[in-house]
Amino acid sequence: MKKIIVAGAGHAGLVAAALLAENGFDVTVIEKNPRSAMGHDWEDRFDFSLLSEITGKDISGFPEDCWRYRGDCAFISPSKRKKIEIFYDENSRQKVMWRKPLLDMLIDNAEEKGAKILFETQIFSPVCDESRVKGVITAQGEITGDIVIDSAGVFSPVKMNLPDSFGIDKEIKRGDLFYAWRAYFNKVSDETPKTQFEVYLYHECEQGLSWCCTNKNTVDILIGRIDEFGSEKIDEQLAIFRKDHPWTGDKIINGGQFGIIPVRRPLTLMVANGYAAAGDSAFMTTPMNGMGIDLSLNAGRILAETLVKNAKNDYTADVLWKYNRRFHIEYGAAVSKNEGLKNALLSIPSEGVDFLFENDVIQSADLSGAGKNMDFKTLMGKFARGMKKPEYFFAIVNGLIKGGEASSLYAKPPVNFEKAAIEKWSRAIGSKRIEIL
Ligand SMILES: Cc1cc2nc3c(=O)[nH]c(=O)nc-3n(C[C@H](O)[C@H](O)[C@H](O)COP(=O)(O)OP(=O)(O)OC[C@H]3O[C@@H](n4cnc5c(N)ncnc54)[C@H](O)[C@@H]3O)c2cc1C
């Protein structure tokens, strides 16, 4: 029986663990946190259908009060002079779910299907020889297996300590991560803005994004930047938020913690002999909005399907490349597209973002769904308005072009695991990145 080690009880790892255990594999998930500390203390948005499919529970079988519809949304320009409002209809309303019940569902499902989960067991590094990964070193000793599925998040100690000769990119550049602090405060009056969920781009003219979501009984505030920040910045920003949202109390009801989100294109190469990364460890988020839950769930599913189908083989990079390749064709190509636009926006000064908003070069359809606002007439209108400040307009066009080129490359990965071809392909994708200074 093949022995599978899942490093970290991340979303992708828990899905893979359940599907593999169900198919008769010996699966052990190794997680540093205790069971009670699993899952952030806040709600997040994703599409619930894959969760339903994986756990076999339709939405009516989810834990009580674990999800709700979030209200309408407004994007606010850096100067706060322009607001782009998005009103959702019945079919497009955004669903959000508390993270703890989501993790509970995934953990329960993995355990019910027969996976073992070792909580409170910290992983320090992989066990490898020059050619393959053979296990992990934990605080409780060495644990070996036929493959390590790396689901230990963005700073995974397994990925970070792989030999460089494996060719997996470990570099994190400025703008690849989004640092967020988030808390739900009590409400001191019944006021609610017309658009409940307000998203501030280049908030207070700093590179990043923040939001203030006024709920029925709480106010959910997220302060986000591409550089790390501390308590002074939080206090300063909360004071500004309270001025514009005087119904925000000062008692923290949920959250009050930092989180880090990868916001770059996914790793081109994410496998080696005996190793596959999935989820944040492979940067599987949508760069523009940091959404990674569905991508992680899907990665876990594709990886498990690949392992089941090739169960008679050793888990060499040749076999695991099938997972790597399929992920990029099905998801990587689509999500990598908007790294270009995101990095382009972060590379121009805040007055440039204001110009693009105030002149309708960026419109609500651009923010509510990529590619929906691209007919010829609309593009010509954007061109005419954007050319009033060509330096900002062309920066954005360059971002869109680079994103499109990267996306086309992701859609056509080399067919087989051939190192030279993969390196060439990865370099070509890397050359499409817009650097953020
Ligand atoms: C503030 C915030 C808001 C977000 N909003 C959304 C949203 O609305 N929608 C969305 O789709 N995504 C959102 N995301 C992103 C999303 O959380 C991730 O992309 C997604 O959870 C996938 O991450 P993961 O499971 O791979 O990694 P993680 O969630 O980081 O899980 C990794 C696991 O590995 C464990 N681990 C780490 N190191 C070790 C170690 N050394 N030893 C053992 N175990 C270890 C960790 O404890 C953890 O349990 C948000 C993230 C943040 C921080």
Q: What is the pLDDT of residue 373?
A: 53
Q: What is the pLDDT of residue 90?
A: 87
Q: Are 399 and 273 part of one and the same domain?
A: no
Q: Are 282 and 135 part of one and the same domain?
A: yes
Q: Are 227 and 348 part of one and the same domain?
A: no
Distance between Cα 101 and ligand 1 center (Å): 14
Distance between Cα 414 and ligand 1 center (Å): 29
Q: How many domains does the chain have?
A: 3
256 ligand 1 Cβ < 6 A: no
Q: What is the pLDDT of residue 134?
A: 97
Q: What is the pLDDT of residues 374-426, one digit of tens each?
A: 667 777 888 888 899 999 999 989 998 999 999 999 999 999 999 999 999 99
157 ligand 1 Cβ < 6 A: yes
Q: Are 161 and 247 part of one and the same domain?
A: no
Across 87-96, 157-166, 188-197, the highest mean pLDDT is recorded for 157-166
| Residue of 6, 32, 94, 118 best suited for mutating to test ligand 1, as the one with most atoms within 8 Å of CB | 32
437: in domain:
no
259 ligand 1 Cβ < 6 A: yes
Q: Are 345 and 325 part of one and the same domain?
A: no
pLDDT band at 367 (very low <50, low <70, confident <90, very high): low
Asked if the model's pLDDT at residue 302 lies above 90, the reply is: yes
82: in domain:
no
**Residue with CA nearest ligand 1 atom 35:** 8
Count other C-beta atoms under 10 Å from residue 134's C-beta: 20
User: Do 436 and 176 meet the contact criterion of CB atoms below 8 Å apart?
Assistant: no
84: in domain:
no
**Residue with CA nearest ligand 1 atom 41:** 123
168 ligand 1 Cβ < 6 A: no
When mean pLDDT is compared across 52-61, 145-154, 375-384, 406-415, the lowest value belongs to 375-384
Distance between Cα 33 and ligand 1 center (Å): 12
86: in domain:
no
Distance between Cα 260 and ligand 1 center (Å): 8
100 ligand 1 Cβ < 6 A: no
Q: What is the CATH number of the domain that holds 58?
A: 3.50.50.60
210 ligand 1 Cβ < 6 A: no
Instruction: State which residues form the domain around 416.
Output: 336-430
pLDDT band at 370 (very low <50, low <70, confident <90, very high): very low
Q: Which helix (H) or strand (E) holds 198?
A: strand 197-201
Q: Are 22 and 167 part of one and the same domain?
A: yes
Q: Are 52 and 120 part of one and the same domain?
A: yes
Given 329, 352, 379, the domain boundary residue is 329
Q: Are 129 and 272 part of one and the same domain?
A: yes
User: Do 373 and 363 meet the contact criterion of CB atoms below 8 Å apart?
Assistant: yes
Q: Are 353 and 321 part of one and the same domain?
A: no
Given 241, 262, 283, the domain boundary residue is 262
3-state SS record for 364-379: HHHHHCCCCCCCHHHH
pLDDT band at 368 (very low <50, low <70, confident <90, very high): low
pLDDT band at 371 (very low <50, low <70, confident <90, very high): very low
391: in domain:
yes
Asked if the model's pLDDT at residue 50 lies above 50, the reply is: yes
346: in domain:
yes
**Percent of the residues in the chain that have a pLDDT greater than 90, as a whole number:** 85
Q: What is the pLDDT of residue 274?
A: 97
Q: Are 412 and 357 part of one and the same domain?
A: yes
Find, among 244, 249, 235, the residue nearest to 184 by Cα.
Answer: 249
Q: Are 135 and 279 part of one and the same domain?
A: yes
Find, among 287, 290, 261, 266, the residue nearest to 278 by Cα.
Answer: 266
User: Do 349 and 79 meet the contact criterion of CB atoms below 8 Å apart?
Assistant: no
| Residue of 280, 288, 297, 327 best suited for mutating to test ligand 1, as the one with most atoms within 8 Å of CB | 280
Q: Are 257 and 286 part of one and the same domain?
A: no
Given 329, 361, 377, the domain boundary residue is 329
When mean pLDDT is compared across 9-23, 199-213, 356-370, the lowest value belongs to 356-370
Asked if the model's pLDDT at residue 144 lies above 50, the reply is: yes
Q: What is the pLDDT of residue 269?
A: 98
Average pLDDT, the chain: 94
435: in domain:
no
